[in-house]
Amino acid sequence: MITHAPAKINLSLKITHKREDGFHELETLVLPIPSLADQLHFETASEFSLHCETPGVPTDESNLVSRALRLFELKTGHSCPFKITLTKNIPHGAGLGGGSADAAHTLLALNELKETTIPISTLADWASQLGSDIPLFLHQSPCWCRGRGELIQPSPLNWKKRILLLKPHFDIPTPWAYSKWQHSKELYGISYHPQEIGDITLFNDLERPVFEKHRILAELKNTLLQHPATEAALMSGSGSTIFAILRDEADASALEQEILREIDPSLWTHLAIF
């Protein structure tokens, strides 16, 4: 069995306060990116093993795929002796949810392979034990996430606009970004203003702490905002991906080449078409 785990971007991310349990109360609108997905290949084996050729990706019990499988075994009582081959296409530490997507789709695949017919609501409860944002990937549709991210409400959003994703070589740990949010400040000359596309308001409260440390991301966003091909630009999640929502008539390839030439030729890029 082969399953694909799509990435996501955050069209909006608002933090209201830090909770007593150490998490942050938030509200975020999440959009799946079907054209950018990791692949998981499940094969029957004598025992469970995880394989991945991407450097730096652990294949032991610390990987979220492994943890999701072990949690499924614990909750259902079913042994899951599968060889899982993980092909990574979603960059790590990018604010695109790669590891969380892999875990969610592991649960979905095991539910199908073991014919356990566990409802999504129950899988979501289990997934939230592994990570706050994992439940959203079970829904495979645009959704609003609230609480610490585990309260999911599917959205009727019918997204059609192209989106150009750009990521520098460095990663940003999500816990670090949240830990710096409360006392962070805006940089002079950088736009943090909400942006409107139709009835959607785009903004990200985590831009403030991340831009303080990584000025190149602030400059990348501002450059995109000033470009005539771009309708809006924002950081996804805790970064380090910045995305540009393109105008219908925009030449995406020309914009990409111009940004690579002016900002950083080593940027990872992906054009999402819906």
Q: Which of 38, 102, 133, 205 is catalytic?
A: 133
Instruction: Identify the burial level of 220 via C-beta atoms within 10 angstroms of its C-beta, where 0-12 means exposed, 13-18 middle and 19 or more buried.
Output: buried
Q: Which of 8, 88, 167, 221 is catalytic?
A: 8
Instruction: Based on the residue annotation, tell me whether 8 is a catalytic residue of this protein.
Output: yes
Q: Map tokens 């073991």 to a residue.
A: 114
Structure tokens at 159: 């997204």
User: 116 Cβ partners below 8 Å, 6+ apart?
Assistant: 76, 78, 110
Instruction: Based on the residue annotation, tell me whether 38 is a catalytic residue of this protein.
Output: no
**Contact by Cβ (8 Å): 168, 264:** yes
- DSSP E strands in the chain: the ranges are 2-18, 24-44, 49-51, 82-87, 143-147, 151-154, 163-167, 195-197, 200-204, 230-235, 242-246, 268-272
Handedness of CA 141, 145, 151, 153 (dihedral sign): negative
Catalytic residue ranges: 8, 133
